[in-house]
Every structure is written in structure tokens, then in C-alpha cells.
Amino acid sequence: MASLLFRWSGYVVQNLQVFNLQVQPVRTKYADWKMIRDLKRRRTVKQYAVEKLRVNSLRKNDVLPYEIRELASQDIAAMPLNAHLTRTHKRCAVTSRARGLVHRWRLSRIVWRHLADYNKLSGVQRAMW
């Protein structure tokens, strides 16, 4: 099946070259694949949030018997890894850079400085002394 698909894709590429067609990459509103991966993780966290909160409250309850708390721990362990909030990461909305984020504007420090220099951000004023 894979070899048939590979031959067919080669056939399509050859025909595109014959007709002088340019293959353009598909553009999305996301900067790169890291941003898309983080979005998928956020959706998974949202999907499992209510169930995880319920099971976690059972797991941390000291009044309940040990067996019930152990079953709750197993349920938490059985959830997907991307269901945990710690797997998500804040990223720049423009460049998808993960470090140096100015949280109020959701921009990295580099993009924020560039936009602030050209007076493109509301509420930002250059230092004058």
C-alpha cells in the first residue's frame, strides 16, 4: 500500500512539473508546528479537566480508604500525558517563541520591543529622561 502511494505521489509531482505548476505550502494562522502541537495539548487538557479534577479530589482525600485512593491514582495514571496542564507552554502569538514572553500582550520580548519602537502597542510609552 505504501509503495503504491509513493508511486502515485511521484506521478503527481512529475505531472505538476510537466505543466509548470508551483506547489505552495498550506498556510495556517499558526506560526509553526510547535504552536499547533501546543494547541492540541490545550484541547486535550480542556477535554479531561472536569474528570481529572474529580478523580484527583478522590485521590487526595485523606478520609477515604486507601483502596479507593489507589484506584483514583490508577485512573489518573491511565489518562493521556497531554491531559496534564503542565504539558502546555505559553508561546508568542506571532513567532511561537517560548521564552521571554511579555504576558500582558502574549508577545515575545523581541516582537514586543519591535512593535513598541514603532508605537504599535497601546499603553506602551518609550522611556524619556
Q: Report whether pLDDT(102) > 90.
A: yes
pLDDT digits (tens, 9 = 90+) for 26-57: 667 888 899 999 999 999 999 999 999 999 99
Distance CA 51, CA 58 (A): 11
Q: 114 lies in which domain range?
A: 90-129
Return the SS3 of 77: helix
**Would 50 be classed as within a structural domain?**
no
**Would 104 be classed as within a structural domain?**
yes
Query: How far is the CA of 117 from the CAs of 17, 95, 122, in angstroms?
Result: 45, 18, 12
Per-residue pLDDT at 15? 53
Model confidence pTM above 0.75: no
pLDDT-based confidence at residue 83 (cuts at 50, 70, 90): very high
Which CATH number does the domain housing residue 97 bear? 4.10.830.10
**Would 44 be classed as within a structural domain?**
no
Look at 109 and 126; give whichever has higher pLDDT: 109
The mean pLDDT value for 54-75 works out to 95
**Would 59 be classed as within a structural domain?**
no
**Would 126 be classed as within a structural domain?**
yes
**Would 66 be classed as within a structural domain?**
no
Contact 72, 59 (CB under 8 A): yes
**Would 19 be classed as within a structural domain?**
no
The mean pLDDT value for 76-99 works out to 93
**Would 105 be classed as within a structural domain?**
yes
Per-residue pLDDT at 128? 78
How many structural domains comprise the chain?
1
